[in-house]
Structure 1
Amino acid sequence: MSKALRIVFAGTPEFAAIHLQSVLESEHEVVAAYTQPDRPAGRGRKLTPSPVKELALQHDLPVYQPKSLRNEEAQQELAALKPDLMIVVAYGLLLPLEVLDTPVHGCINVHGSILPRWRGAAPIQRAVAAGDKESGVTIMQMDKGLDTGDMLLKVTCPINNTDTSQNLYDRLAELGGPALQKTLNMIAEGSLQPEKQDDSLATYAHKMTKEEGQVDWNKSSWELDCQIRGFNPWPVAWMLQDASQPEKRTRIWEAQSLEEPLDEQATEAPGTILQASRDGIDIACGKGVLRLKKLQLAGSKAMNVLDLLNSRSEMFKPGVVLS
Structure 2
Amino acid sequence: MRLVFAGTPAFSVATLEALHAAGHEIVGVFTQPDRPAGRGRKLTPSPVALRAEALGLPVFKPEKLRAEAQTELRALSPEVMVVVAYGLILPQAVLDIPRHGCLNIHASLLPRWRGAAPIQRAIEAGDRETGITIMRMDAGLDTGPMLLREAVPIGEDTTAGQLHDTLSALGARLIVHALDALAAGRLHETPQPAQGATYASKLSKDEARIDWSADAQTLARRVRAFNPVPMAWSELDGERVRVLAARPAAAIDAPAGTIVTDGMLRVACGSGSLQLDLLQWPGGRPLSAREAMAARRLHGRRFT
TM-score by length of 2: 0.95
Partner deviation per Cα, 1:270-317 (whole Å, 9 max, x = no partner): 33323353xx3112223222101111224544322222222221xx21
Secondary structure of the structure 2 residue equivalent to 1:24 = helix
Contact 2:109 2:151 in 1 (8 A): yes
| 2:35 pairs with one of 36, 39, 60 | 39
* 1:67 Cα deviation after fit: 0.8
Equivalent residues in 2 for 1:40-55, closer than 5 Å: 40-55=36-51
Secondary structure of the structure 2 residue equivalent to 1:306 = helix
Partner deviation per Cα, 1:168-209 (whole Å, 9 max, x = no partner): 011111211111111001111111221111223111111111
Tell me which residue corresponds to 1:292.
Answer: 276
Tell me which residue corresponds to 1:129.
Answer: 124
Partner deviation per Cα, 1:78-101 (whole Å, 9 max, x = no partner): 001000000011111111110000
Partner deviation per Cα, 1:200-239 (whole Å, 9 max, x = no partner): 3111111111110122222221111100000000101111
* 1:250 Cα deviation after fit: 1.6
Partner deviation per Cα, 1:32-78 (whole Å, 9 max, x = no partner): 111111122223333222121122112221111111102x1211110
% identical equivalent positions:
47
Tell me which residue corresponds to 2:240.
Answer: 249
* 1:150 Cα deviation after fit: 0.5
Tell me which residue corresponds to 1:273.
Answer: 259
Contact 2:261 2:293 in 1 (8 A): no
- Residue 299 (structure 2) pairs with residue 317 (structure 1): yes
| 1:78 pairs with one of 73, 79, 82 | 73
Flag the 1:266–1:39 CA change in 2: closer, same or farther, 3 A.
Answer: closer
| 1:202 pairs with one of 197, 206, 209 | 197
| 1:67 pairs with one of 42, 52, 63 | 63
Secondary structure of the structure 1 residue equivalent to 2:241 = strand
Q: What's the RMSD between the two structures over aligned residues?
A: 1.6
Equivalent residues in 2 for 1:183-194, closer than 5 Å: 183-194=178-189
Output the CA distance in 2 between the equivalents of 1:73 and 1:269: 60
**Pair member with larger Rg:** 1
Output the CA distance in 1 between the equivalents of 2:43 and 2:255: 50
* 1:153 Cα deviation after fit: 0.3
Tell me which residue corresponds to 2:25.
Answer: 29
Equivalent residues in 2 for 1:123-272, closer than 5 Å: 123-242=118-237, 245=238, 248-258=239-249, 261=250, 265=251, 267-272=253-258
* 1:240 Cα deviation after fit: 2.5
For these two proteins, the number of residue pairs brought into alignment is: 304
